[in-house]
Amino acid sequence: MESLVRQFYELPGKIIMLHDGEYLFHEGDSARYFYIVRTGQVFITKYATSGRVLSLRLAARSSIIGELPLYEDEPVYIFNAIAQSAAEVYAIEFPVLQSYLERNPHMAVNLLKIISAHMRKQHSKFRDLLLYGKKGALYSTLIWLANSYGKDVDDGILISVPLTNQELANYSATARESLNRMLSELRKADIIEYRGHLIFIKDIDFLKRSIQCENCGKEVCNIE
């Protein structure tokens, strides 16, 4: 997928630097740009009227952001994009991208492949939430994090990105109190442990069995 995204750097654009916690855009903002993450990570989130937050992605290097409104008559962003750390993105104006895609149909196909991969990831997430409830959402989130940011150490997988329990709850579409209880159960069952601020997964096969993981591969089963 990274090789497909890299080709969009041929287009004229601009580099935007983001500080930790800075918004790239808010949901409802007029959409003007298609973005590629160059460095750092960017949270993609959705806010509910109740105040709850649903985190959909943690976009990392070579991830695209803001592509969905590309061909809308009055494009607006439907999600929020917030830097999880200091980040750098490459911004391409919609008219520039549209013109390029019209002249290069193979790149339009490449973009469709990227968007289709994103849709498949989201379908998998909602499947686990609907079929297996809060635990399914948490377990799939841990598997995705392991595939995206996991390092094999000591017969387990260390997730190298520090996340607060609230951030993990946002990914799992649950309240922090429920998440704390489920994490405590996993620790008592010796499935996970904490190493500093990082989660160490000792038995990822348990998580996969619990949600009947389809083992669709890291290209699809990731949090990016």
SS3 32: coil
Q: What is the pLDDT of residues 13-61, one digit of tens each?
A: 999 999 999 999 999 999 999 999 999 999 999 887 777 788 888 888 9
Query: Cα separation of 144 and 172, whole Å?
Result: 11
The one-letter code for the residue type at 160 is: S
Query: Cα separation of 202 and 191, whole Å?
Result: 5
Sheet architecture: strand order including 14-18: 14-18, 87-93, 33-39, 64-65
Q: What's CA 117's distance to the chain center, in Å?
A: 12
Q: What's CA 106's distance to the chain center, in Å?
A: 26
User: How is domain 124-210 classified at the architecture level of CATH?
Assistant: Orthogonal Bundle (1.10)
- Considering the chain, tell me which residue range(s) the CATH 2.60.120.10 domain(s) occupy: 2-103
Query: Cα separation of 26 and 44, whole Å?
Result: 10
CATH domain 2-103 topology = Jelly Rolls (2.60.120)
Would you place residue 1 in the very low, low, confident or very high pLDDT band (cuts 50, 70, 90)? Answer: low
- Considering the chain, tell me which residue range(s) the CATH 1.10.10.10 domain(s) occupy: 124-210
- Long-range pairs, 51-54, Cβ under 8 A, ≥24: 53/170, 54/170, 54/173
Q: How many CA atoms lie within 13 A of 137 on its CB side?
A: 19
Q: 60-72 in b/e burial notation, b at 16+ Cβ within 10 A?
A: bebbbbbbbbeee
Q: What is the pLDDT of residues 157-211, one digit of tens each?
A: 999 988 889 888 888 888 889 999 999 999 999 999 999 889 999 999 999 998 8
Task: Give yes or no for residue 217 having a pLDDT over 70.
Answer: no
pTM equals 0.79
